[in-house]
Amino acid sequence: MVSGRHTELWSDAIGANGAVMAYGHWGRPVLAFPAERGTAWEYENQAMIGAVDELLAGGRVKLYCVESFDGASWSNASLPLEERAHEHARYEAWILEQVVPWIHADCGGPLDIATVGVSLGAYHAVNLALKRADLFPLALGLSGNYDPSTWGAWGRRGEAAYFNNPVDYLAHMGGDHLEWLRGRLSLLLVCGQGRWEDTTGALESTRRLAGLLSEKAIPHELDLWGHDVPHDWPSWRAQLAHHLPRFC
């Protein structure tokens, strides 16, 4: 299996270092988000790296795995929804101000970056691409729930929560920006129909987001796997191995 390179990138917004694991020597850069509260090592520990080892070894893709900040943001049940969204903005600032420039430097220039994520990480991958398609023109979301207001949320829903909820802001998107997005962005939404895809809300949310994308004519694909495909790592390994070769 291809070995990874570890680096720590300081974030002024978070006030701490964040870990990044880089895999591969050449190819399309892909920014990978872990499952809820996951680490930068999660893709390696869960055999996701092994699932795409041939792409990495063959110089077709470079995978950059980041740690999550969910425990301080969306998964912090002690905070109301709007404060969770503000905390999430700190994590997003680290991605945009530190991780993206580091990836560009590692690739020898400002290449377009694809995103991929599993479970809550799928939200990060898709939300970031919708908001910053100038940097991330392709996103793969595996078993994502794309509506933070359903994640045990409480308290008022302000601007920060609105602009980080794809189900909210996409429904009201229009004008020149929507036209630009239609020509720039492509999304792939994948979800199983087996165990835990219903209780996590992933299946319903994936279908709902795909419906909104259709209404807005934003290029996307919806790929629903069978009723024997659960919300779990073996499913995501198979889905990543199946789809990623198409894009690199």
DSSP summary character for residue 149 = G
pLDDT surpasses 80 at 1: no
Per DSSP, the three-state class of 112 is coil
Model confidence pLDDT, tens digit, residues 88-147: 999 999 999 999 999 999 999 999 999 999 999 999 999 999 999 999 999 999 999 999
pLDDT surpasses 90 at 81: yes
Determine the pLDDT at residue 160: 96
Determine the Cα–Cα distance for residues 117 and 120; give it in Å rounded to an integer.
7
The pLDDT confidence band at residue 157, using thresholds 50, 70 and 90, is confident
Determine the pLDDT at residue 14: 86
Determine the pLDDT at residue 166: 97
CATH number of the domain within which 177 lies: 3.40.50.1820
Mean pLDDT of 73-101: 97
Determine the pLDDT at residue 91: 97
Helices (H), 59-189: 81-94, 100-107, 120-131, 159-162, 166-171, 175-184
pLDDT surpasses 80 at 219: yes
The residue that leads in pLDDT, 166 or 16, is 166
Determine the pLDDT at residue 15: 87
Q: How many domains does the chain have?
A: 1
Q: What's the predicted TM-score (pTM) here?
A: 0.97
Model confidence pLDDT, tens digit, residues 6-54: 999 988 888 889 999 999 999 999 999 999 999 999 999 999 999 999 9
Model confidence pLDDT, tens digit, residues 171-205: 999 999 999 999 999 999 999 999 999 999 999 99
Question: By CB neighbour count within 10 A (0-12 exposed, 13-18 middle, 19+ buried), where does 145 fall?
Answer: buried
DSSP bridge pairs for 43: none
User: By residue range, what is the domain housing residue 110?
Assistant: 4-247
